[in-house]
Amino acid sequence: MPTSRERVRAVLSGKIPDRVPNALGGCETEGLHVLAYQKLQHILGLPPTPPRMDTFMVNAVFEEEVVRRMEGDILLLASPNMCSAPLRGSLPGMWKPQPLWGTEILVPNSEQFTLCEDGSIIWETAGRTICPKGSFFFDSPGGSDLLADFEIPDPADYHPPHQLDEKKLRQLEEAARQLYETTDFSLCLGESITDLQIQPGGMVGSMVLMLEEPDVMGEFLEKSLQAGLAQIEQLEQAVGKYVDILSIAHDFGDNRGITIGAPLWRKIYAPFYKRLFQGWKERTSMHINLHTCGSVAEILPDLIDCGLEILNPVQTSANGMDPAALKEKFGSSLIFWGGGYDAQLYSPQLSEQEVFKRVRETVRIFKQGGGYFFSGVHNLPADLPEAHLRAMLEAWRAERDY
């Protein structure tokens, strides 16, 4: 029987593996909220060990034993841009217990929380963001993004780093080497480079730049591009021989379509993504995994032309993201990572049997001809019914073989 690493590499090379790889938890945007992760521990018959919280999306770090028990194939090596503590390797002193949502979880030592008398939680080290009573996520700090006195930002003031921290690189290298030599998991490195998500002037301000000052926006993107390519070279030297997949993120869509419109996206972003992905492939063999939410079908031909290899989370609830249509149009050109369980489509009142039926059909569609990594759609929420999570995994098991 092939190992997990061999199975994933077969998919990455365009071959059909023995079965659909289980990639739940394999990157930052295909996981579980820490409370949903506790339900997974229970389903797998594991003791309720306090989960580690991979900030900032309060999803859980999938531990090696959990991945083994659920027959997973991809292990998230690290999440440098999201978590202030390493996920693998030498961990003593990096994590501490923290009561949150009525249970104990582990958070990086650098993070500070205040539990308020009204039941809310303040995340002090994340700009004093607030999780209201009864909620499971932290709100944005807020503030106005209106443009009454908008001033065009100066690209000369933007200096993304071209050098990654040497200590972190060595820690990554040692953790990757150890996992590569002692496990047969495929390794995915989380979001680690300067990407093209830069929003000079804020979300609204950056949209104004795209429309009225596209050359200025281009200068910001050029600086991000050059920094990201320089960082990829350093990651290749440190972990390229161990890691199969490197992730980036950029949310282009909402539930309706491309947020800024496909024509503007093509004008502003397509040239830079083509250069990024071309430069990426010249510098490393780590495969390109792009997280982009929402309805992005309209620009998938453009992203494929740019050189995209893996798309997640495959938000099947969004306009134009029907699994059968996606597979028919793009299945020969893209690896789909996700799509298995979309919390926007699955009411908590849905029966376990119905969830099993629907997820199995989705897996059946996406697995045709290969090119599929199974997981949910984005990080599944805290209130995910345990029965739904169990049905989701059982549906994958029932349909996974080729």
pLDDT of residue 173: 97
Six-digit token string for 349:
């009142």
Q: Where are the alpha helices (DSSP H) in 13-138?
A: 34-43, 64-69
Q: Which amino acid is at 262?
A: A
DSSP 274-299: HHHHHHHHHH--SEEEEE--S--GGG
Secondary structure (3-state) at 156:
helix
Q: Which two tokens stand for residue 177?
A: 């080497």
The pLDDT score that the predictor gives to residue 199 is: 93
Give the single-character DSSP code of 238: H
Rg, Å, the chain Cα set:
21
E strands in 55-170: 59-60, 74-78, 95-100, 103-108, 113-115, 121-123, 129-131
Tokens of 391: 């049905």
Could you tell me which residues are beta bridge partners of residue 289? 247, 310
Separation between Cα atoms, residue 30 and residue 188, nearest integer Å? 12
Residues of the chain with pLDDT under 50: none
What's the rounded Cα separation, in Å, for the pair 225 and 128? 31
Per-residue pLDDT, 23: 98
Sign of CA dihedral 183, 185, 190, 192: positive
Which pLDDT score is estimated for 97?
Answer: 96
The answer to whether 261 and 253 have CB atoms below 8 angstroms apart is no
Those residues with Cβ within 8 angstroms of residue 154's Cβ, 6 or more apart along the chain or in another chain: none
Quick one: tokens of 373? Answer: 């990594």
Under 8 Å between Cβ of 179 and 171: no
Residue 14 DSSP label: T
Single out the residue of 29, 24, 26 nearest to residue 40, CA to CA. 24
Q: What is the separation of C-alpha 42 from the centre of its chain, rounded to a whole number of angstroms?
A: 24
The secondary structure of residue 341, as a DSSP letter, is -
The first and second tokens of residue 370, run together, are: 């290969």
The H or E element spanning position 186 is strand 186-189
Joined together, the tokens standing for residue 175 give 């953790």
CB 37 within 8 Å of CB 60: yes
pLDDT at position 147: 54
Write the CA distances from 122 to 96, 117, 138, 171, integer angstroms.
17, 11, 8, 31
CA distances from 106 to 25, 57, 237, 243 (A): 17, 14, 31, 26
Helix, strand and coil percent figures for the chain, each rounded to 5: 40, 15, 45
SS3 32: strand
Q: How many CB atoms lie within 10 A of CB 216?
A: 17
Q: Whole-angstrom distance between the N-terminal and C-terminal Cα of the chain? A: 13
270, 302 Cβ separation under 8 angstroms: yes
Q: Which residues pair with 377 in a beta bridge?
A: none
Structural domains of the chain ordered from first start? 4-399 (3.20.20.210)
The per-residue pLDDT for 142 is 56
Distances (CA, A) of 62 to 137, 364, 371: 19, 26, 23
Angle at alpha carbon of residue 389, lines to 386 and 394, rounded to 5°: 125
Instruction: Give the pLDDT confidence score for residue 149 in this predicted structure.
Output: 61
* Sequence-ordered list of residues with C-beta below 8 angstroms from that of 188, at least 6 positions apart, any chain: 26, 27, 74, 75, 76, 77, 243, 244, 245, 246, 247, 289
